[in-house]
């Protein structure tokens, strides 16, 4: 094989050749600079960005509000492209420096919550919503919630990185991760062939977790890869993904902590419902 890479005996970090994120990411953890996090007026303080992992939590919070739960929150933008995740304030609540992270100030000794699945579970149990309380239905939701947690890195860090973001395109990793993503899509499509929602007849945190990744993918909102992946083949995912997008809470959650796209898709920081209403009012009729 021409230009075959031979790994050195000892790996060293090269910030110049790794593409868009190489100058930001590092092989060590911890803060790079001092900066406190803002704190709004509500008990729930979310620090995030409107990536698929971030959308999970803003959709969840908006769904809780739609159910009449006392889940008002402030959502503060963490600009990962500018290294906000490495500030001292953010590292204090998530030593792994990844969005999203949540702090619930309703308790004086609140333990910060990080990892999106952990946040979804925390909110579902706190507000007693969108998660069955016992039995097989609860197990099914857990199965699919953690299926997503294990599968999404193949879609994001694997397929998405090499197909969309890597500084050079290489056939082997693109083929390797495309094969896995097609298999995952087939798994989901077969599940949705006999179920209205991911874990059965009831809407749950499994849907909220999976839609920002695989729903966005088949709807053409992620990596511009719908033709490459032939997503129209997955008719049951298409049905579910489209139905999810008709939910007002999904539409609202998608625009929070976002600064790209159309003007009606961008809301860097959210402090009350009116913030979202004003942005969505800009959407062409």
Q: What is the pLDDT of residues 40-60, one digit of tens each?
A: 999 999 999 999 999 999 999
**Per-residue DSSP letter, 101:** E
What's the mean per-residue pLDDT of the chain? Answer: 95
Specify the pLDDT at position 285.
85
The answer to whether 158 touches 180, Cβ cutoff 8 Å, is yes
Specify the pLDDT at position 26.
86
238 and 270 inside one domain: no
Specify the pLDDT at position 266.
97
> 210-213 long-range contacts, Cβ below 8 Å, gap at least 24?
210/144, 210/148, 211/59, 211/240, 211/241, 211/244, 211/250, 212/51, 212/52, 212/53, 212/55, 212/56, 212/59, 212/254, 213/52, 213/148, 213/152, 213/155, 213/156
125 and 5 inside one domain: yes
The answer to whether 198 touches 28, Cβ cutoff 8 Å, is no
Query: What stretch of H or E contains 135?
Result: helix 135-153
HEC readout, 70-96? CCCEEEEECCHHHCHHHEHHHHHHCCC
When pLDDT is cut at 50, 70 and 90, the band that residue 24 belongs to is confident
Rounded-to-integer distance, Cα 244 and Cα 122, Å = 22
Structural domains of the chain, count: 2
191 and 92 inside one domain: no
102 and 8 inside one domain: yes
Rounded-to-integer distance, Cα 275 and Cα 253, Å = 12
Q: What is the DSSP string of 145-200?
A: HHHHHHHHHIIIIIIIIIIIISSS--HHHHHHHHHHHHHHHHHHHHHHHS-SBTTB
9 and 121 inside one domain: yes
74 and 2 inside one domain: yes
189-240: pLDDT as tens digits: 999 999 999 999 999 999 999 999 999 999 999 999 999 999 999 999 999 9
39 and 139 inside one domain: no
143-173: pLDDT as tens digits: 999 999 999 999 999 999 999 999 899 999 9
Q: What is the CATH number of the domain that holds 48?
A: 3.40.30.10
Rounded-to-integer distance, Cα 21 and Cα 41, Å = 33
29 and 170 inside one domain: no
94 and 147 inside one domain: no
21 and 43 inside one domain: yes
Specify the pLDDT at position 18.
63
When pLDDT is cut at 50, 70 and 90, the band that residue 22 belongs to is low
- CA end-to-end span of the chain: 55
Give the CA angle between residues 144, 149, 152 to the nearest 5°. 105
Judged on CB neighbours under 10 Å (0-12, 13-18, 19+), 110 is middle
Query: What stretch of H or E contains 277?
Result: helix 273-280
Which residue, 76, 113, 94, 73, is CA-closest to 31? 94
The answer to whether 75 touches 48, Cβ cutoff 8 Å, is yes
107 and 243 inside one domain: no
102 and 144 inside one domain: no
**Per-residue DSSP letter, 215:** I
- For residue 1, is pLDDT > 60? no
Domain that holds residue 193: 135-254
């Amino acid at each position: 094989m021409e230009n075959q890479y031979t790994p050195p005996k000892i790996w060293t970090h090269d910030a110049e050749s790794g593409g868009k994120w190489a100058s930001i990411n590092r092989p060590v953890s911890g803060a790079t600079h001092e900066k406190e996090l803002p704190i709004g007026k509500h008990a729930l303080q979310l620090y995030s960005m409107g990536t698929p992992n971030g959308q999970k939590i803003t959709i969840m919070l908006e769904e809780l509000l739609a159910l009449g739960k006392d889940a008002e929150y402030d959502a503060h933008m963490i600009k990962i492209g500018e290294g906000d995740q490495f500030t001292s304030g953010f590292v204090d609540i998530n030593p792994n420096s990844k969005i999203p992270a949540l702090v619930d100030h309703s308790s004086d000794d609140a333990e910060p919550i990080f990892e999106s699945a952990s946040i979804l579970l925390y909110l579902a149990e706190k507000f007693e919503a969108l998660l069955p309380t016992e039995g097989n239905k609860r197990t099914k939701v857990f199965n699919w919630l953690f299926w997503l947690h294990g599968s999404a890195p193949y879609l994001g860090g694997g397929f998405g990185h090499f197909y969309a973001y890597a500084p050079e395109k290489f056939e082997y990793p693109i083929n390797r991760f495309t094969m896995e993503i097609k298999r995952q899509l087939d798994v989901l499509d077969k599940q949705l062939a006999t179920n209205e929602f991911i874990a059965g007849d009831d809407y749950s945190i499994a849907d909220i977790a999976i839609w920002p990744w695989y729903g966005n993918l088949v709807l053409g909102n992620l990596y511009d890869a719908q033709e490459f992946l032939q997503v129209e083949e997955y008719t049951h995912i298409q049905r579910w993904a489209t139905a999810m997008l008709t939910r007002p809470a999904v539409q609202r959650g998608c625009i929070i902590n976002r600064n790209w796209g159309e003007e009606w898709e961008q809301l860097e920081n959210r402090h009350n419902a009116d913030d979202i209403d004003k942005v969505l009012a800009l959407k062409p009729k």
